[in-house]
């Protein structure tokens, strides 16, 4: 086994990981390394299209307070208001910083950063839509990823690409608390285990959308570190809140940015009706994503869908100038032509909601410190998290479009600074000889698995059943059924068999390990959703249709007791000047 020592280790090379690495490098007195399952520029941040929300005011009058309010209201008041305030203020400077790093934003005629409208973003506390999303055509995430990676190379960040993290080095400290001393990872190319010993660790590994059948998420998004944290006794927060993006390509789930509607695109049912006027009469197609996704499903369920089976909705941009489509939405036009053979300038594009983003994750303070309890002083020393893997909680019960990219750069930066400060103030702690035992056992057990169950079949059944029972609409009956389905799939998972016993590039073994991570993530979502008997944001219970603030204005904290058995605790929402009100648009 190879051993490495660094002051700060960042796991994940997407937007939040690279931002954390950049700022750790600028602030740490020692070395910084990034460990990534992919080559950095293939990270999923590159799939984000529409923009970064920031109140620059380049097109309309705007204010960080309006952005803060929209974020809290969009999160159905489950958003922690201290996080929302920090975010709305800091994201303005963060956007300008990206510009100065070299990010090629689209421009207005006067040379300022171009901004477009996005769902849920308004002026004057909800009076009218506002142009707030700073964009680079429909490739904003791709440009952020390229810019941050280039700057990381420039700053001398060390990279370990195509390494699969299998465990964290978590040990008890002298006071009975938890301290993180690094991670254990496998070099995919050789199959060799590596120990990464560090003073502090930042987790930035993204989402877990591959637990659903129809998703915008890449194949690599299997919730690895949320599952590892969960297995090691760290709670996961608000895992029931999973966002379905309204406009994924029909049956495929390939994302079509909300920026399409920001540029004037309209959702129509099978009769050609602009139906969002019924559900959100003020901002119509630019309502938050949870509302639009539910509205689309209602149209389909009530027989007003499009197509021969009436099972999709139409995204219409035929009224837009083709020049605007080609200049501002080139990838969207290309996706429609390539995957569905639809010409978007002359015919509407078939779309359906697609599993897109988890609002939940590893609980953190506003500085990225990972919590092992329900209070802010119950932290895992030396462990930080940022981006989609984390729950700060900026997004509450529903994330507004563009706030994910803002989250990456704002809280990735804060986590990097905090991790560097911790590393500067603390010594490298010794680790025990058997720190890799869990990882070694996992690899040995998986590589030598000789049962009769198929990884592919279990994964397909998990994805289909999660799509059927725990997606946009949920009930006690469907969630209880899904608990039993997952229990059975976990039992079958212990009987899997794989045929590849090799060490080098053993992708069959990796997919088997990732399936275990996905099953853990699905377990946390379903148990958390079953426990929350209300409808709030992206969590829509058809048997409890109203929001219930007296009982559920609080964060879910789910702990694993054993496979299939969990414990739920609660954490208070950080409130502020914006009191919870009915959420209407």
Find tokens 């120990």 and name the residue: 195
**How far apart are the C-alpha atoms of 562 and 527, rounded to whole Å?**
13
Measured in degrees and rounded to the nearest 5, phi and psi for residue 447 equal -60, -35
Show the CA angle centred on residue 531, arms to residues 529 and 535, nearest 5°: 60
Q: Contact 408/10 with Cβ under 8 angstroms?
A: no
Show the CA angle centred on residue 467, arms to residues 463 and 472, nearest 5°: 150
**How far apart are the C-alpha atoms of 431 and 579, rounded to whole Å?**
47
Per DSSP, which regions of 45-97 are E strands?
52-53
Instruction: Give 114's DSSP letter.
Output: P
> From the CA atom positions of the chain, what is the Rg in Å?
23
Token pair listed for 172: 């008890």
**How far apart are the C-alpha atoms of 185 and 191, rounded to whole Å?**
10
**How far apart are the C-alpha atoms of 485 and 462, rounded to whole Å?**
8
Q: Contact 108/59 with Cβ under 8 angstroms?
A: yes
Catalytic choice (42, 116, 117, 289): 289
Indicate the Cα dihedral angle 11, 17, 21, 27, nearest 10°: -110
Per residue in 401-418, is it b (16+ CB within 10 Å) or e — as a string?
bbbbbbbbbbbbbbbbbb
Q: Contact 69/197 with Cβ under 8 angstroms?
A: no
Q: Contact 371/378 with Cβ under 8 angstroms?
A: yes
Cα within 13 Å of Cα(448), Cβ side = 6
Residue 437 annotated among the catalytic residues of the structure: no
Token pair listed for 161: 């690409």
Instruction: Give 333's DSSP letter.
Output: H
**How far apart are the C-alpha atoms of 8 and 424, rounded to whole Å?**
10
The sign of the torsion formed by the CA atoms of 319, 323, 324, 325 equals: positive
Q: What is the set of active-site residues?
A: 289
């Amino acid at each position: 086994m190879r051993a490495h020592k660094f002051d700060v280790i960042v796991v994940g090379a997407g937007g939040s990981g690279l931002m954390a690495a950049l700022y750790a490098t600028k602030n740490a007195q020692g070395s910084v390394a990034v460990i990534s399952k992919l080559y950095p520029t293939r990270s999923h941040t590159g799939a984000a299209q529409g923009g970064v929300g920031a109140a620059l005011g380049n097109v309309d009058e705007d204010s960080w307070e309006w952005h803060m309010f929209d974020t809290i209201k969009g999160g159905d008041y489950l958003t922690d208001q201290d996080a929302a305030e920090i975010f709305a203020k800091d994201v303005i400077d963060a956007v300008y910083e990206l510009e100065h790093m070299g990010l090629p934003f689209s421009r207005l005629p006067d040379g300022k950063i171009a901004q477009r409208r996005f769902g849920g973003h308004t002026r004057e506390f909800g009076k009218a839509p506002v142009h707030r999303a700073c964009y680079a055509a429909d490739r904003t995430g791709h440009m952020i990823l390229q810019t941050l990676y280039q700057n990381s190379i420039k700053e001398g960040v060390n990279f370990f690409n195509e390494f699969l993290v299998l465990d964290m080095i978590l040990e008890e400290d002298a006071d009975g608390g938890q301290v993180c001393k690094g991670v254990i990872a496998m070099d995919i190319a050789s199959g060799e285990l590596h120990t990464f010993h560090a003073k502090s660790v930042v987790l930035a590994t993204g989402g877990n959308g591959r637990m659903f059948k129809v998703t915008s998420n890449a194949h690599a998004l299997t919730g690895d570190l949320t599952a590892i944290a969960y297995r090691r006794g760290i709670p996961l927060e608000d895992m029931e809140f999973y966002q379905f993006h309204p406009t994924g390509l029909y049956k495929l789930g390939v994302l079509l940015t909300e920026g399409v509607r920001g540029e004037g695109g309209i959702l129509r049912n099978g009769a050609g009706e602009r139906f969002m006027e019924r559900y959100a009469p003020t901002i119509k197609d630019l309502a938050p994503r949870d509302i639009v996704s539910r509205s689309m499903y209602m149209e389909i369920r009530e027989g007003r869908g499009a197509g021969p089976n009436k099972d999709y909705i139409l995204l219409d941009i035929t009224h837009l100038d083709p020049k605007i489509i080609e200049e501002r939405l080139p990838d969207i036009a290309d996706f429609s032509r390539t995957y569905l053979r639809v010409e978007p300038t002359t015919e509407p594009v078939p779309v359906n909601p697609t599993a897109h983003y988890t609002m939940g994750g590893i609980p953190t303070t506003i500085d990225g410190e990972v919590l092992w309890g329900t209070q802010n002083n119950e932290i895992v020393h030396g462990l930080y998290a940022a981006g989609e893997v984390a729950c700060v909680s900026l997004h509450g019960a529903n994330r507004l479009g563009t706030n994910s990219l803002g989250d990456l750069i704002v809280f990735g930066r804060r986590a990097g600074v905090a991790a560097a400060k911790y590393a500067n103030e603390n010594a490298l702690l010794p680790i025990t000889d058997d720190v890799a035992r869990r990882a070694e056992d996992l690899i040995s057990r998986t590589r030598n698995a000789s049962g009769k169950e198929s990884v592919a079949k279990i994964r397909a059944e998990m994805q289909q059943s999660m799509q059927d029972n725990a997606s946009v609409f949920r009930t006690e009956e469907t969630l209880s059924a899904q608990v039993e389905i997952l229990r059975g799939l976990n039992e079958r998972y212990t009987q899997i068999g794989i045929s590849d016993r090799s060490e080098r590039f053993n992708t069959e073994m990796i997919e088997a390990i990732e399936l275990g991570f996905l099953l853990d993530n699905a377990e946390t979502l379903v148990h958390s959703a079953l426990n929350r008997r209300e409808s709030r944001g992206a969590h829509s219970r058809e048997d409890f249709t109203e929001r219930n603030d007296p009982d559920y204005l609080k964060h879910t904290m789910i702990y694993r007791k054993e496979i299939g058995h969990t414990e739920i605790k609660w954490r208070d929402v950080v409130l502020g000047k914006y009191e919870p009100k009915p959420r209407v648009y």
